[in-house]
Amino acid sequence: MNISKKITQTLVAILITGMLSLPLTLVSPSQVESVFWMGISKARLVVFAVHLLAVVSVAIVMVIGIKREYKTPFFQRFSKFLKHPTNYPTLRYVLFGGSVFLSFAFVNFSILIPQALSAISGWMAFSAWMLYALFI
């Protein structure tokens, strides 16, 4: 399969997952003492804004890559890394370790911390695993 197709499919999957997880940060109402706007606290609105900014940045990277056919220097270096992943074992192991760490963070956020952080940590874990899957 063509590398540009793999990158596009990965970015589309990350973007769709990010858009689906956005509403999950606002599902449950905040505690009564910390309500700021429509039953939501300021901290949850900040988490939502950061999540939205991350989803928009993934969309921008995808659109730039598709319009320029992945010929920019950033995508050229990235595709060189995808073609020869054995030349960059440290980066590969760091990405694997980050994926495992984010997966544990997602589990902990789901159990111990309110749902607002669970959605964004789940999306980050999914994104890290999808990026790692590009190299397999």
The mean pLDDT of the chain is: 81
- Centre a 10 Å sphere on the Cβ of residue 84 and count the other Cβ atoms it contains: 9
For residues 4-25, average pLDDT: 87
For residues 107-136, average pLDDT: 80
Between CA 94 and CA 90 the distance in angstroms is: 6
Q: Strand pairing partners for 96?
A: none
Percent of the chain with pLDDT over 70: 86
> What angle is formed at CA 56 by the lines to CA 85 and CA 1, rounded to 5 degrees?
35
Flag whether the pTM goes above 0.95. no
Between the alpha carbon of residue 42 and those of residues 11, 39, 70, 73, 134, the distances in Å are 30, 10, 39, 39, 37
Report pLDDT digits (tens) over 19-74.
988 888 777 666 666 666 666 777 788 888 888 999 999 999 888 888 887 778 87
Percent of the chain with pLDDT over 90: 11
